[in-house]
Amino acid sequence: MKGKTFAFHAVAGTLSALWLLPIALVLLTAIRTFDDIAGNGLGALPDSFSLDSFGEAWHAGGQSQAMLNSLFVTVPTVLLSLALSAAAAFALSRYDIPFRRAIILLMLAGNLLPPQILLVPVAKLCELLGIYDTLPALIVVQVGFGLGFYTFVLQGFMRAIPDEIQQAATIDGAGAVTIFWRIILPMTRPALAALSALAFTWVFNDLLWAITVLRTGTVMPVTPALLGLQGQYVSNWNVIAAGSVIAAIPTVAVFLRFQKHFISGLAIGAVK
Amino acid sequence: MATLTASPTVAPQPNRVRRRQKRRVPPVLLAFLLVPLAVEAFWVFWPALQGFWLSLTNWDGVSAPSFVGLGNFRELFGDPIFRDSAFNTLIWLVLFGGLSAAGGLGLALLLQREGRGVGFYRAALFTPVVFSLVATSLIWQAIYQPDGLLNKLLGGLGLESWQHSWLADPDTALYAVLVPALWRQVGYVMVLYLAGLKGIDPTLFEAAKIDGAGRWQQFRFVTWPQLRSVNSVVLSDSLRSFDVVWAMTKGGPYHSSELLSTYMYATAFQSLRLGYASALAVVIFVLAFGVIVAYLVRAFREDDK
């Protein structure tokens, strides 16, 4: 029995160490100086310590602007997506909407489409509307594409809320909007929290939509801007590493803060 | 974006015992439904239809598209880059999908117990999931550099002959991209499987044991059927892979790590052959179609309960 526990920890411990190794490496690379890397090689252990690379990536590398762009995109996208999908989910789950099931599946199907089929038309649509290469374009595109999935999850959740609660509120004279705002929405909070944490990471980490509707370097959010940073600092691996660390901070923070929600969000329906 | 359905951890099971009483639909609810629906129609359904139509045209994005019928699809047959990228996509599906499912399941079975250290192990394996694929790519590019960690380790082990420019060699580029993609995906799939394992009613195992089922049979007939839904997530994620390849190699060198998704993007936004790119997108759609339908059918059934 003891031997078995030991073997378990040996296997799991080795795997965990292997998994953490690249993260340790990027942190170690970020704190090295350029001369150290150039002289001793990228794979060598640090022979220097400096945090200048973070400043370099943040200021000259343009990451401060990119981070602002990311927040301008991510926060409104998450809020809008959840507001719209919660409203749709409310109608679809609590009332006898004709063809409700067909509508739910149609909306979900939209989210399951491979994005490639949408890229060219969406880029052209943005040009046509005059919003190509602006952050609002990225917001609306991502809201539109995500809605189906969020609506599907939220309506499943709202449907499980007992009908009696709503009946009682109706008898007390509450209208649909009041019921939505005061009763159903608060009861949906766990699902909303899980989806917000997930949506934040998805939108923040997105590359494909950003490089489809944006072109100019200065409007790029952090994730696509990392590629620009790499082009700018070709062999300055300390700056590139620092940039990667900076780009990962917001999602790591959201994950650590909302760990429970995050995991349950991921698990939404992996079961069945 | 991942594609999952409703779960016990988040959603109480929709056990709608009795039918909801008929409720008149107040007009304000129409707005509740129609506004989101209109947004999705405008940004998803309408562009999708255009995408199919554009696949039948030649278009440079400036002058008007000219209709060429199935010409683009005929051209695909003779296009060696299309053949390579289709083959690479197949390899990717098998290796990325297969290994992330196998690895994720193995880790979930290993770490499903509770005990000292297990939380740490899970967290360690899960951490890369929150990084963007672009950040992941940069981390691994550093490892793959000629003077990077991997070659250093090989040198340290006396395997100098194995040292390599991993991303610059057409023979290794695709696999060099695959490793970071797996590094990030395995922890994610593990969490999905862990949730699935947690959701299995323990009495099922008792019943199976009483019926004389061995450990393999318990896995095969009790555990596995409960986990099947994870498979379509794994499959659709492999079809969606784009970021990691684009960030690491842009499909190169010489298209050796080209996937259909990267080839489509390059054709559209670098070669500006928008009609031909749309035809590639249609091919991707056809490949994904089976997964989409399977997923919708299950969503449909679940909604029934």
Alpha-carbon gap, residue A254 to A251, rounded angstroms? 5
Q: Output the CA angle A227-A230-A234, nearest 5 degrees.
A: 150
Domain B33-304 in this protein, CATH class: mainly alpha
Name the B residues in 40-99 with CB < 8 Å from any A CB: 40, 42-48, 50-52, 54, 61
Rounded to two decimals, the pTM is: 0.89
With a CB cutoff of 8 Å and minimum separation 6, the contacts of B181 are B96, B133, B136, B241, B244
Nearest CA in chain B to A22: B139
Check A207 against B107: CB less than 8 A apart: no
CB B128 within 8 A of CB B191: no
Check A148 against B44: CB less than 8 A apart: yes
pLDDT, tens digit (0-9, with 9 covering 90-100), for B80-109: 999 999 999 999 999 999 999 999 999 998
The DSSP code sequence of chain B is -------TTTSPP----SPPPP----HHHHHHHHHHHHHHIIIIIHHHHHHHHHTTEE--SSS--EE-TTHHHHHHHH-HHHHHHHHHHHHHIIIIIHHHHHHHHHHHHHH-S--TTHHHHHHHHHGGGGS-HHHHHHHHHHHHSTTSHHHHHHHHTT-GGG---TTTSTTTHHHHHHHHHHHHHHHHHHHHHHHHHHTS-HHHHHHHHHTT--HHHHIIIIIHHHHHHHHHHHHHHHHH--HHHHHHTTT-STTTT--HHHHHHHHHHTS--HHHHHHHHHHHHHHHHHHHHHHHHHHHHHHH-
pLDDT, tens digit (0-9, with 9 covering 90-100), for A78-133: 999 999 999 999 999 988 888 888 999 999 889 889 999 999 999 999 999 999 99
Query: What residue spans define the domains of chain B?
Result: 33-304
Query: What residue spans define the domains of chain A?
Result: 2-54, 62-267
Q: Which of A31, A27, A60 is nearest to A225 (CA)?
A: A60
Supply the DSSP symbol for A95: S
Residue B171 to chain A, least CA–CA distance (Å): 23
pLDDT, tens digit (0-9, with 9 covering 90-100), for A206-252: 999 999 999 988 999 999 999 999 888 888 888 999 999 999 999 99
Position B293 scores a pLDDT of: 84
Position B2 scores a pLDDT of: 41
B268 shares contact with chain A (CB less than 8 Å) = yes
With a CB cutoff of 8 Å and minimum separation 6, the contacts of A24 are none
Check B142 against A208: CB less than 8 A apart: no
CB B230 within 8 A of CB B196: yes
B144 shares contact with chain A (CB less than 8 Å) = no
In chain A, pLDDT over 70 holds for what percent of residues? Answer: 97
CATH superfamily of A62-267: MetI-like (1.10.3720.10)
Residue B211 to chain A, least CA–CA distance (Å): 24
Q: Is the bond into B253 cis (omega within 30 degrees of 0)?
A: yes
Contacts of A254 in chain B (CB under 8 A): 130
Q: Residue B257 — pLDDT band, cuts 50, 70, 90? A: very high
B36 shares contact with chain A (CB less than 8 Å) = yes
pLDDT, tens digit (0-9, with 9 covering 90-100), for B110-167: 988 888 888 889 889 988 988 989 989 999 998 898 888 888 888 888 887 787 888 8
Q: Which of B107, B118, B89 is nearest to B177 (CA)?
A: B89
Select the residue of B128, B188, B298 nearest A266 (Cβ to Cβ). Answer: B188
Check A176 against B26: CB less than 8 A apart: yes
Check B192 against A272: CB less than 8 A apart: no
Lowest mean pLDDT among A71-75, B16-20, B249-253: B16-20
What's the token pair of residue A225? 């801007």
Alpha-carbon gap, residue B33 to A226, rounded angstroms? 38
Q: Residue B295 — pLDDT band, cuts 50, 70, 90? A: confident
B249 shares contact with chain A (CB less than 8 Å) = no
Residue B61 to chain A, least CA–CA distance (Å): 8
* Mean pLDDT, all residues of chain B: 85
Residue B142 to chain A, least CA–CA distance (Å): 7
Contacts of A94 in chain B (CB under 8 A): 20, 23
Nearest CA in chain B to A193: B10
Between B10 and B130, where is the model more confident?
B130
A205, pLDDT greater than 70: yes
Which of B9, B179, B183 should be substituted to probe chain A, the one whose Cβ sees the most A Cβ atoms within 10 Å? B9
In chain B, pLDDT over 90 holds for what percent of residues? Answer: 38
Q: Output the CA angle B252-B255-B260, nearest 5 degrees.
A: 110
